[in-house]
Amino acid sequence: MRSLMQKRFQKLFSLPEWVLVQKAQRGSKEAFGKLYELYVEKIYRYIFFRVNQDKHTAEDITEVVFIRAWEKLHMFRKGSFQAWLYTIARNAVIDHYRSDKPTAMLHENIAEETDHEEKVFLSIEVEKVMKSMQKLTEEQQEIITLKFINDMSNKEIAKILKKKEDAIRALQYRALQALREELS
């Protein structure tokens, strides 16, 4: 018979993720590797946009996130594993900015098939949006990044930011309104 803790975990996770978390907590590097594969791109993308599209910094911080996750996995008990991982990523970005002066670097990867004119136009648009986003508050930048770049639900964002869903909707509305004003 399953323990009460196992039943709770099963309700909180899809079965494969729940099993991977359980195995990783028991020390399975293979299970943690699968969790890594499941989340590395999402975490990297989140960090990439939080560090002004600096590829090397994003790679370094992503590495730190997964090292911390492995080291602290025994502390994870309940809730969304994804939200727990994004919280680690958020804290790692905050730590980065505390220890480093932020630099604004814009690097956009544009598909090779587009012609030169489209590249120039897209580059100008990306730069304009990124400059406008930097004028928003940290919280507004984070909401836009999580919602529109990482495609997260308001419920997931609420767990990461430790706020109510209604507060997330209001912040999102104000963030988009502020971004719209900056862009016009």
- 1-103 is classed CATH 1.10.1740.10: yes
pTM of the model: 0.61
Q: Is there a contact between 49 and 149 (Cβ–Cβ < 8 Å)?
A: yes
Dump pLDDT digits (tens) for 54-79: 899 999 999 999 999 999 998 888 77
Q: Which two tokens stand for residue 55?
A: 């590829």
**For the chain, where do the domains classified as CATH 1.10.1740.10 start and end?**
1-103
- Note the pLDDT of residue 92: 94
One-letter amino acid for residue 178 of the chain: A
User: Who's near 175: CB < 8 A, 6+ residues apart?
Assistant: 136, 139, 140, 141, 143, 144
Q: Which two tokens stand for residue 160?
A: 């990461």
- Note the pLDDT of residue 84: 92
**For the chain, where do the domains classified as CATH 1.10.10.10 start and end?**
114-184
Task: Reply yes or no on whether the pLDDT at 89 is more than 90.
Answer: yes
**Average pLDDT over all residues of the chain:** 80
Alpha-carbon distance 109 to 84, whole Å? 29
Dump pLDDT digits (tens) for 112-156: 444 556 666 666 676 777 777 888 888 888 888 888 888 888 998
Alpha-carbon distance 141 to 102, whole Å? 15
Q: Is there a contact between 68 and 88 (Cβ–Cβ < 8 Å)?
A: yes
**Domain covering 114-184 in this structure, CATH number:** 1.10.10.10
- Note the pLDDT of residue 122: 62
Task: Reply yes or no on whether the pLDDT at 111 is more than 60.
Answer: no
**% of residues, the chain, pLDDT over 90:** 32
Q: Is there a contact between 80 and 8 (Cβ–Cβ < 8 Å)?
A: no
Q: What DSSP line would sit under 79-122, residue for residue?
A: S-HHHHHHHHHHHHHHHHHHHS-----------TTS-HHHHHHH
Higher-confidence residue of 6 and 48: namely: 48
Task: Reply yes or no on whether the pLDDT at 107 is more than 60.
Answer: no
Backbone dihedral region for residue 158 (phi beyond 0: left; psi -120 to 50: alpha; all else: beta)? alpha
Dump pLDDT digits (tens) for 7-25: 555 444 455 787 888 899 9
- Note the pLDDT of residue 113: 47
State the average pLDDT over residues 33-38. 92
State the average pLDDT over residues 31-43. 92
How many beta carbons lie within 10 A of that of residue 173, not counting itself?
A: 11
User: Who's near 110: CB < 8 A, 6+ residues apart?
Assistant: 118, 119, 122, 123
- Note the pLDDT of residue 5: 54
